Amino acid sequence: MGKSTGFLEYERKNGEVLPPLQRIKNFQEFHGTLSDEEQRLQGARCMDCGIPFCQSGLLLAGMASGCPLHNLVPEINDLVWHGNWEQAYLRLSKTHCLPEFTSRVCPALCEAACTCGLHESAVSTKENERKVIEYAFANELVKADKPKIRTGKRVAVIGSGPAGLAAAICLNRRGHLVTVYERSDRPGGLLLYGIPNMKLEKSIVARRIRLMEESGITFRCGVNIGKDISGQELLSDFDRILLAAGASRPRDISVPGRDAKGIFFAVDFLSQVTQTLLDSDFSKVPYELAEDKHVVVIGGGDTGNDCVGTTLRLHAASVTQLEMMPKPPVKRSESNPWPEWPKVLKTDYGQEEAAAVFGEDPRIYQTTVKEFKKDASGKVCAAVLVNLSPRKDEKTGRLLMEPVEGSEREIPADLVLIAAGFLGSEAYLADSFGVKLNERGNIFTFPDSYQTNVEPVFAAGDTHRGQSLVVWAVSEGMAAAKAIDESLMGYSNL
């Protein structure tokens, strides 16, 4: 696949990225793309390795190696190399129904497992994918997928994030009548309100929603299933139900002063920023949320990084990001060999921007908050931090992070954003349908199945597996659609 000597002849080249101090002036995407000819040469680097771990989606050491969607990566790269963009899109569409999202926000599990990346730079599969899907949209290859025959079966999808959208596309393609329920005011779920615009422009989400509506899918927004409409009502109106409402219960931190004003969950904050931008057609930027404030972000993951990048665009006076765990190594350790996911230091766009503005990485490792302090009006004004020391639990083997006595110090904090992860789906959603939860607080399904203990009800995405990546949500949405189709029709050609 690709050019047999391409990986020796051509170096990896990525699309231009705007410099940090320039891109923080607005909320627009800042990753550019290569020319068609330059992207073709990147496809040529695919090295016909024989065993394409890039498309395996295997779990190694508890983490995914390669694409969970099993995209036909070498074949797509080869078509890119030959400039056959239409066939590349058709090949990509065999396994993936939402590549415009993963080609922007996925951490590129495929590239981490690329054989070329063992000794050289990995093939730029993520940017190849983005070039393919954007070519397809620009040349009207992506069209409303209207089924020729309707089955008469009705399916309700609860949640319009990546899992819900993927399932709806597949079920509609099969001919079922699909209604997607979304509790927010617009469809898109996590893609719309959980990911900032500079990472995924909302026009990209709207473009896909329009196509889905044209294909016959119905969206009902502002409807909170389990509160506005009961699960039992839906069960009487639909043949099957798919729960794909995400893992929307944020993990809180319980310390003195937590009740102070100015402390928010990260997703609530990010949603407020995006909603203000959308409601004003990007004419109003909510600077008042963070301008001239000392910001503390609790959590070192992707959402925490998004908070860093967002508050910088809102003119924060300072940004500090707290990470409980030790700082990862710069290079792979011997206990983390390829093709396992590399457990190495990752500096994302928000941290790059903070370093450019303030002169240093905003992250402080092995640190958490011991106490919040309030001013006379009840607003948060400072955070007392404490260092953490790792200790291995002898019984479970888990790494425990324990406070270091005497390491407390105080920093200013006018705005605190909690990005400490999620605890599972909303309990009222499960209760409304009578479905069980597992020990992790996620919707229970039978082994190797997406079916819950209530026969017509299925679950997929973060609701099913817990907080995870967009690519996993898409994968589960498509797989759950197939399971629902089989339960309705006795077989499935999805």
- The pLDDT tens digits for 78-113 are 999 999 999 999 999 999 999 999 999 999 999 999
* Tokens of residue 45, six digits: 């680097």
Asked if the bond preceding 339 is cis, omega within 30° of 0, the reply is yes
Strands (E), 55-139: 58-60, 63-65
Helix (H, G, I), strand (E, B) or coil at 273: helix
Locate the domains of the chain by residue range.
6-138, 154-248+423-489, 263-418
Provide the sign of the torsion angle of the four alpha carbons 355, 360, 361, 367, taken in this order: negative
- The torsion defined by the Cα of 429, 432, 433 and 436, in degrees rounded to 10, comes to 70
- Is there a contact between 474 and 69 (Cβ–Cβ < 8 Å)? yes
What would the mean pLDDT of 475-486 be, rounded to a whole number? Answer: 98
Helix (H, G, I), strand (E, B) or coil at 272: helix
The β-bridge relationship of strands 409-412 and 380-392 is antiparallel
* Tokens of residue 325, six digits: 């765990």
- Is there a contact between 492 and 276 (Cβ–Cβ < 8 Å)? no
At residue 120, does pLDDT exceed 70?
A: yes
- Whose tokens are 């119905």? That residue is 218
CATH topology of domain 263-418: FAD/NAD(P)-binding domain (3.50.50)
Least confident of 180-194, 251-265, 313-327, 436-450: 436-450
- The pLDDT tens digits for 330-375 are 999 999 999 999 999 999 999 999 999 999 999 999 999 999 999 9
Distance separating alpha carbons of residues 442 and 427, to the nearest angstrom: 9
Strands (E), 344-465: 363-365, 367-374, 380-392, 399-403, 409-412, 415-418, 457-459
- The pLDDT tens digits for 298-341 are 999 999 999 999 999 999 999 999 999 999 999 999 999 999 99
At residue 132, does pLDDT exceed 90?
A: yes
Provide the sign of the torsion angle of the four alpha carbons 366, 370, 373, 379, taken in this order: positive
Say if 6-138 and 154-248+423-489 have the same CATH topology: no
Angstrom CA distances, 81 to 13, 102, 109, 410, stand at: 14, 21, 21, 55
CATH topology of domain 6-138: Fumarate Reductase Iron-sulfur Protein; Chain B, domain 2 (1.10.1060)
At residue 396, does pLDDT exceed 90?
A: no
- The pLDDT tens digits for 2-39 are 788 999 999 999 999 999 999 999 999 999 999 999 99
At residue 131, does pLDDT exceed 80?
A: yes
Mean pLDDT of the chain: 96
Helix (H, G, I), strand (E, B) or coil at 322: strand
Confidence (pLDDT) at 282? 96
Distance separating alpha carbons of residues 96 and 338, to the nearest angstrom: 25
Q: pLDDT above 90 covers what percent of the chain? A: 93
Confidence of residue 1 (pLDDT cuts 50, 70, 90): low
Distance separating alpha carbons of residues 110 and 74, to the nearest angstrom: 11
DSSP single-letter state for residue 451: B
For domain 154-248+423-489, give the CATH superfamily. Answer: FAD/NAD(P)-binding domain (3.50.50.60)
Confidence (pLDDT) at 129? 98
At residue 394, does pLDDT exceed 90?
A: no
Tell me the pTM.
0.96
Confidence (pLDDT) at 392? 87
